[in-house]
Amino acid sequence: MPCPCDRLVTSDMTSADVCLGQLWLFSSLDSAEMQALIAAARRRSLAAGSYVFLQGERARTLFVIKAGRIKLTKTDEQGNEILVDIRKAGDFLGETFLGEDADYPLTAECVEDSLLCGIAREQFELLVTENPAIGLQVMRAMSERIAYLTSRVGDLAATHLEERLYAVLTTVAREHGRRTDAGLVIEFPLTHEELSFLVGAHRVSVTKALKSLGEAGKVIRKGGRLILPVP
C-alpha cells in the first residue's frame, strides 16, 4: 500500500522511506491493522519557522517526520531558549503523549519546510490493547533513546571544550549531514549560541573552540555552513 504522505511531498523536500505504519512502534501490525492506522493518521505540512507543538501544551499526538527537519528547544525559568536536539526525516516527535495528562516538555520548530504524520493517543491506546506486542516494542525503543542520550552526556563530560564541540558536531553531521567530496556538510545553520547550549559552554568560548577546530582542519566553514572532513 503506497504511503499517502507521498502525495503531499513537494519537489524541494527529501522524503523518508519510513511511513507511520512502518515505524518501530507498529511493525507487528497485520495488513488490516496497518491500513486502519494509516487511514487514521493526521498529516500536516508546515513551513520553516512553524511550530509543531509548544512547550507546556497537552501532549496528545506522536508524529513521524516524513520530510524536513525539526529542532527541539526548552525554555528555562529565566526565559533562555536551550537547543536540545535536531530531528530529521524518519525520526519521531512527541514521545510524552503516552503519559497520563502529560504536556510536551519541549517546543518543536521546523528548521525546514516539513511534512509530519501523526497518531493520536486514543488511537494508539486502542492498538496497544488489541496488540500487546506493541508495548514491548515501545520499551525497546525507549531503551535505545536512553542509550543515545547517555552517549550525549558522555560527550559533555569530555575534558576539553574542543573535544566536546567536535563530538557534538560529528554526531549532528552523521545524523543530518550530506556527504560531499569535501566531507559531511551540515546544511542548516547552527548559531554559536545554539552550539553553546549543545556543549554546555559560553558562546564566546564556543567561538574560540570553533576557530581552533578550523585551524586544525577538523571543521570547515563555507557559505554559512559547517563541513566536517571525515572519512
141-151: burial string, b at 16+ Cβ within 10 Å, e else: eeeeeeeeeee
Q: Is the pLDDT of residue 159 over 60?
A: no
* Of 40-44, 62-66, 90-94, 150-154, minimum mean pLDDT range: 150-154
37 and 136 belong to one structural domain: yes
Kindly state whether residue 147 falls inside one of the protein's structural domains.
Answer: no
Place of cell 516524513: 66
18 and 103 belong to one structural domain: yes
Among 109, 141, 173, the domain-final residue is 141
More confident residue, 219 or 22: 219
pLDDT of residue 49: 93
Output the nine-digit C-alpha cell for 111: 528548521
Indicate which CATH number applies to the domain containing 195. Answer: 1.10.10.10
101-147 tens-digit pLDDT: 788 888 999 998 999 988 888 887 887 777 676 666 666 666 666 66
pLDDT band at 21; cut points 50, 70, 90: low
Domain hosting residue 173, numbered range: 158-228
pTM for this one? Answer: 0.63
Q: Is the pLDDT of residue 50 over 90?
A: yes
164 and 128 belong to one structural domain: no
pLDDT band at 59; cut points 50, 70, 90: confident
In terms of Cβ atoms closer than 10 Å to its own Cβ (0-12, 13-18, 19+), residue 223 is exposed
- Contact assessment for residue 117 and residue 63, using Cβ atoms and an 8 Å cutoff: yes
Kindly state whether residue 195 falls inside one of the protein's structural domains.
Answer: yes
56 and 105 belong to one structural domain: yes
pLDDT band at 70; cut points 50, 70, 90: very high
108 and 221 belong to one structural domain: no
180 and 76 belong to one structural domain: no
